[in-house]
Every structure is written in structure tokens, then in C-alpha cells.
């Protein structure tokens, strides 16, 4: 009779640990797939579009991500980055757009769109864009989707 008791004791200790390992496994912030430029928007359009091209300090930014890649992708818009700069010289200024951001990935089929809104912190006057990572569900490829450029008429 001691053997079933030992197994139950072992399971009662092991199961919570296994659950924690599985749950924390989804908290990885990096992407594992290789960059695949073939997944970029085939029509040459921007994958993320903001609701305006100029914002005042404290304004809410609304954006729409549309999957124009022809493949299902996973995403988490809360984990998008706000970048400052112009042309090919962009620097991150905010690494996550959400105040309380989960590691949850969602799936977006070809042609589907999703919206997200955030209020950035006080920003310097300048040109900004939003960048977010998209992965295919099998982790074989990833792309960095970027928005149109927009300005903040903030205080310097």
C-alpha cells in the first residue's frame, strides 16, 4: 500500500511544477523563426496603418494590422514597439505598447485585420512608427511589420 501513496505524493509535487514550466514557456519574448522577406506584403502596402498621421501629446493612437502575407501569422500587438527616426534609421523608444502585456500570441489569417489602441508616454516632437513581429505558426519564418510614419507634435 505504500507504493500508491508514494506515486500520489510524487504526482502531487510534479504536476504543479510541470504546469508552471508549460505556462512560463509561452513567456519568451524573442522570435525563433528566420526572417523571411518573401512574407512581406506582396502588394507593397504597409501592414500596419494608424488612424492619423499627426498626434498631439497624450493622444490615443489607433492602429490596424492587416495580414497581406498570404499565410496565417501569429502576433501580439501589445508587444509592438514604438520607434523614432526616419527612413532606415529607426530607434526604439518604447518596447511594449501595453501597460500590462501578456505573452499570448493570436492568429491572423490572410486578409484578416485586427485593431489596437494605446496612449504613448509624453514624447518629443518627431517622426515615429510602430513595429511588431509576425511569425508563422510553425515558427519557420518571421517578418517585422511596420506602420506608416506619423508625427507627434509634443513638447521638446
CATH number at residue 66: 2.60.40.1930
Query: Looking at the DSSP assignment, which residues form a beta bridge with residue 154?
Result: none
Domain membership of residue 22 (yes or no) is: no
Give alpha helix (H) positions in 1-156.
2-25
Domain membership of residue 87 (yes or no) is: yes
Domain membership of residue 115 (yes or no) is: yes
Q: By C-alpha distance, which of 72, 74, 83 is closest to 50?
A: 83
Domain membership of residue 40 (yes or no) is: yes
> Domain residues for 50?
32-153
Q: What is the pLDDT of residue 143?
A: 86
What is the residue-averaged pLDDT of the chain?
75
Share of the chain above pLDDT 90, in %: 40
CA dihedral (89, 95, 98, 99) positive or negative:
negative
| Residue 29: band (very low, low, confident or very high) from pLDDT cuts 50, 70, 90 | very low
Question: Exposed, middle or buried by CB within 10 Å (0-12, 13-18, 19+), for 23?
Answer: exposed
DSSP 8: H
Domain membership of residue 41 (yes or no) is: yes
Query: Looking at the DSSP assignment, which residues form a beta bridge with residue 108?
Result: 73
Domain membership of residue 15 (yes or no) is: no
Q: Is the pLDDT of residue 150 over 80?
A: yes
Q: What is the pLDDT of residues 32-69, one digit of tens each?
A: 334 344 444 444 457 999 999 999 988 999 999 999 88
| Number of domains forming the structure of the chain | 1
| pTM more than 0.85 | no
Domain membership of residue 6 (yes or no) is: no
Domain membership of residue 1 (yes or no) is: no
DSSP 147: B
Q: By C-alpha distance, which of 61, 75, 148 is closest to 112?
A: 75
Amino acid at each position: 500500500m505504500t507504493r500508491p501513496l508514494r506515486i500520489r505524493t510524487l504526482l502531487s509535487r510534479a504536476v504543479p511544477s510541470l504546469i508552471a514550466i508549460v505556462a512560463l514557456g509561452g513567456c519568451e519574448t524573442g522570435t525563433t523563426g528566420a526572417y523571411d522577406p518573401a512574407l512581406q506584403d506582396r502588394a507593397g502596402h504597409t501592414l500596419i496603418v494608424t488612424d492619423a498621421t499627426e498626434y498631439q501629446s497624450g493622444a490615443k493612437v489607433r492602429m490596424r494590422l492587416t495580414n497581406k502575407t498570404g499565410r496565417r501569422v501569429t502576433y501580439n500587438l501589445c508587444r509592438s514597439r514604438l520607434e523614432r527616426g526616419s527612413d532606415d534609421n529607426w530607434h526604439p523608444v518604447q518596447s511594449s505598447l501595453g501597460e500590462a502585456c501578456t505573452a499570448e500570441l493570436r492568429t491572423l489569417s490572410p486578409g484578416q485585420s485586427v485593431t489596437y489602441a494605446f496612449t504613448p508616454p509624453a514624447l518629443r516632437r518627431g517622426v515615429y512608427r510602430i513595429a511588431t513581429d509576425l511569425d508563422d505558426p510553425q515558427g519557420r519564418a518571421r517578418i517585422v511589420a511596420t506602420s506608416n510614419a506619423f508625427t507627434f507634435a509634443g513638447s521638446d
